[in-house]
Amino acid sequence: MLQQFLSMASVRRWVCGVAVVVLGVALSGGSAYAAQRSASPEKKHKVVAKRTSAKVVAPRKLVKSSKPVRVAAVSAHKPVRAVVHRPSHGELAGLRDQNDPLDLKSSVALVVDQDTHEVLLSKNDQAVLPIASLTKLMTGLVVSQARLDLAEPITITEEDIDTEKGSRSRLAVGTTLTRGEMLHLALMSSENRAAHALGRTYPGGMKVFVEQMNVKARLLGMTDTRYVEPTGLSSKNQSSARDLAALVNVAHMDPLLRDYSTSPGYEVDLGRKTLQYNNTNALVKNPDWDIGLQKTGYIAEAGRCLVMQTQIAGRKLIMVFLDSAGKLSRIGDAQRVRQWIELKTVASPSASSGNAQQPLAAGRQG
């Protein structure tokens, strides 16, 4: 019995030992599994960290891709710069606030019968304002009446570059054209470097040329007029509508100025390339208009300007428009005046000067 008990006790010990081993293995397996569980969040954390780092990087990519946004922001500022308004002298003087029967957009207007000198319409005609490139009409008159050699070659130099307004030119430094071609481009396309070169190469130089411009003005009775340079880029070049009408009347008598100023276009052969220039006045290409002489002008201080000699309803007329606000408004004013004159002619072919003076009085009263 004792032996049987002992053998059974040994069996129990063996079973307990096995149970302990099994339990130990199970426990070690559990701890390993627990270790794996505890390790897996770290792996997940690392993955999450990578994703988090990716999210951190993403804004950097957005910052890089924000360049177009910056460009858009810059381009959005361009209209703001364009909106920055530089008032003209006429606007500062309050001339744009004055009304007239034709609702003209120009602060100053004058329409005169070239044959009878009858004033058909007047609005602030004695106001003295900057005249921009209308200056080039006097430049052309001085060159033409000096009887200079039009075939003489003139080369554009650094002196001809615009330092007043910084305007561009298609005539690069070193370009050589004849004096006649320079005059053509100055009158037709308002080429500033060409006009400056004409004054610079005048006998005696620029100083003598500007003096001649002012002498010519005095001879024509242009008492409100002053010139300081031949292009019109300076706002110190100033005149009145009445003075400019006198200039147009004389310039129209010059065949060269008539031809060059009303030329629709001109092609300049520079050897390696050809430049096509067009007239700055769109009305010269309009078959409904008969224009004998014209000149346009613009700088901020002067607004949009236009002078013309034309025929309407059988009458030779001189038109002057100064300080017009919009790009097309000076052309629109010319159209309005034309329609008004045509209507008056149809209504009364022998319209009296009294009726014609009505707009003049209304215009002056504003």
In a domain, 95, yes or no: no
Q: Kindly list the distances between the CA atom of residue 269 and the CA atoms of 187, 192, 212, 273, in Å, as whole numbers in the listed order.
A: 18, 19, 31, 6
In a domain, 43, yes or no: no
pLDDT on residue 10 = 54
Residue 43 reports pLDDT greater than 60:
no
- Say which residue, 55 or 203, is predicted with more confidence: 203
Catalytic residue among 88, 106, 133, 234: 133
- Full-model pTM: 0.74
Measured CA to CA, the distance from residue 126 to residue 137 in angstroms comes to: 19
> CB–CB of 193/160 below 8 Å?
yes
Q: Kindly list the distances between the CA atom of residue 307 and the CA atoms of 184, 218, 261, 315, 322, in Å, as whole numbers in the listed order.
A: 17, 20, 11, 16, 8
- Say which residue, 359 or 182, is predicted with more confidence: 182
Measured CA to CA, the distance from residue 275 to residue 271 in angstroms comes to: 10
Residue 358 reports pLDDT greater than 80:
no
Q: Which residues contact 88 (CB under 8 A, 6 or more apart)?
A: 96, 107, 129, 130, 300, 301, 302, 303, 323
Average pLDDT over the chain, rounded to an integer: 82
Please say if 190 is a catalytic residue. yes
Q: What is the CATH number of the domain that holds 280?
A: 3.40.710.10
Condensed to tens digits (0 to 9), the pLDDT of residues 265-277 reads 999 998 889 999 9
First to last CA, the chain: 145
> CB–CB of 136/120 below 8 Å?
no
Domain total in the chain = 1
Catalytic residue among 88, 107, 144, 190: 190
Condensed to tens digits (0 to 9), the pLDDT of residues 222-264 reads 999 999 999 999 999 999 999 999 999 999 999 999 999 999 9
pLDDT on residue 44 = 40
Q: Kindly list the distances between the CA atom of residue 271 and the CA atoms of 171, 175, 176, 197, 350, in Å, as whole numbers in the listed order.
A: 13, 10, 10, 20, 56
- Domain residues for the domain of 299 are 100-365
> CB–CB of 194/171 below 8 Å?
yes
In a domain, 301, yes or no: yes
pLDDT class of 147 with cuts at 50, 70, 90: very high
In a domain, 245, yes or no: yes
Mean pLDDT within 31-36: 43
Phi/psi at 151 (5° precision) = -90, -5
Mean pLDDT within 16-38: 45
Residue 140 reports pLDDT greater than 60:
yes
Tokens representing 202 are 């005048």
> Do strands 265-269 and 238-239 pair parallel, antiparallel, or not at all (unpaired)?
unpaired
Angle between helices 135-145 and 241-251 (to 10 degrees): 30
Residue 54 reports pLDDT greater than 50:
no
In a domain, 277, yes or no: yes
Measured CA to CA, the distance from residue 131 to residue 196 in angstroms comes to: 16
In a domain, 177, yes or no: yes
Residue 307 reports pLDDT greater than 70:
yes
pLDDT on residue 7 = 52
pLDDT on residue 350 = 60
Task: Taking the CA atoms of 135, 140, 143 and 146 in sequence, report the sign of the dihedral they define.
Answer: negative
Q: Kindly list the distances between the CA atom of residue 318 and the CA atoms of 19, 195, 360, 362, in Å, as whole numbers in the listed order.
A: 126, 24, 15, 20
Catalytic residue among 123, 136, 216, 295: 136
Q: Kindly list the distances between the CA atom of residue 102 and the CA atoms of 22, 226, 283, 287, 316, in Å, as whole numbers in the listed order.
A: 114, 30, 20, 24, 20
Mean pLDDT within 191-216: 98
Please say if 133 is a catalytic residue. yes
pLDDT class of 338 with cuts at 50, 70, 90: very high
DSSP character string of 194-263 = HHHHHHHTSTT-HHHHHHHHHHHHHHTT-TT-B-SSSSS-STT-EE-HHHHHHHHHHHTT-HHHHHHHT-
In a domain, 120, yes or no: yes
In a domain, 320, yes or no: yes
Residue 63 reports pLDDT greater than 60:
no
- Residue 153 forms beta bridges with which residues? 178
pLDDT class of 97 with cuts at 50, 70, 90: confident
